[in-house]
Amino acid sequence: MFKGMYHGKQCHAADIPTVLARAWAAGVDRIIVTGGSLKESREALEIAETDGRLFCTVGVHPTRCGEFEESGDPEGHFQALLALAKEGIAKGKVVAVGECGLDYDRLHFCPADVQKKYFEKQFELAEAVKLPMFLHMRAAGEDFCEIMSRNMYRQVLEVVAGCKGIADIEGLSKTIYHNTCRLFFPQDLDASADAQLEGGTTVQDS
């Protein structure tokens, strides 16, 4: 959006320098630029290289997971992500794998079976490069927790960017280590208020 693109339309001129200048002036000292596809991850690395205070992620957002199969070579697409992650790590810029996860609120972008397949595949990426995961979950609590539980042995550290549609926040906390959950829907805030979390940090947008 900081390139002025909204829903495929150019609505205003790119204003990334303005946004960054405002952030630095406000006291922000580091920013992670999030990748949501292979293409965006490359662009995120390019942006991160422009300033010592910028870092980035490499990964595929659940709504974009169709790109693996649309590429015609899912394994080749994965290897390209892996190569990009290694390149960014060598440059001291790539700090996490993601944003990846499950988003059942927007299945019109990518069906659930494809999301699950390539969410799990990205654990392989995180394990290969020994990076934390930057996760996303909307309205997919049961499948999300099941996949997380099955891959616990591969985890380094996780940050969950969004949790919607999960009543068992306490159960979620048992599937991720050193986690931060940002809960931004009223029903999720109600659930988290009753949860007894151990070993995790919950950040709530108000």
Among the listed ranges 88-92, 137-141, 195-199, which one has the minimum average pLDDT value?
A: 195-199
Q: Estimate to the nearest angstrom the gap between the alpha carbon of 8 and the chain centroid.
A: 21
User: Where is pLDDT greater, at 103 or 199?
Assistant: 103
| pLDDT tens digit sequence for 35-94 | 999 999 999 999 999 999 999 999 999 999 999 999 999 999 999 999 999 999 999 999
Task: Give the rounded percent of residues in the chain with a pLDDT score beyond 90.
Answer: 56
Structural domain boundaries in the chain: 1-28, 34-204
Sign of the C-alpha dihedral computed for residues 118, 120, 126 and 132 taken in this order? positive
Query: Beta strands 94-103 and 133-138: pairing type?
Result: parallel
DSSP 136-182: EEES-HHHHHHHHHHTGGG-S-EEEEEEES-S-HHHHHTTSSS-EEE
Instruction: Output the pLDDT for position 74.
Output: 98
Q: How confident is the model at residue 178 (pLDDT cuts 50, 70, 90)?
A: very low
3-state secondary structure of 37: coil
Enter the pTM of the model. 0.77
| pLDDT tens digit sequence for 117-138 | 999 999 999 999 999 888 898 8
Task: Give the rounded percent of residues in the chain with a pLDDT score beyond 70.
Answer: 71
Q: Which of 79, 75, 76, 88 is nearest to 35 (CA)?
A: 88
Confirm or deny that 146 is annotated as ligand binding.
no
DSSP-assigned letter for residue 148: H
Q: How confident is the model at residue 1 (pLDDT cuts 50, 70, 90)?
A: low
Six-digit token string for 176 = 């991720």
Whole-angstrom Cα distance, residue 67 to residue 89? 23
Q: Which of 37, 41, 89 is nearest to 66 (CA)?
A: 37
- Evaluate whether 125 touches 135 at the Cβ level (below 8 Å): no
Instruction: Output the pLDDT for position 149.
Output: 86
Output the CA–CA distances (angstroms, integers) from residue 54 to 91, 92, 131, 180, in the order listed.
12, 10, 17, 21
Instruction: Output the pLDDT for position 170.
Output: 53
Confirm or deny that 12 is annotated as ligand binding.
no
Whole-angstrom Cα distance, residue 137 to residue 60? 13
E-strand ranges in 13-131 read 31-33, 54-58, 94-103
- Evaluate whether 131 touches 95 at the Cβ level (below 8 Å): yes
Among the listed ranges 93-102, 127-136, 195-204, which one has the minimum average pLDDT value?
A: 195-204
CATH 3.20.20.140 is right for the domain spanning 34-204: yes
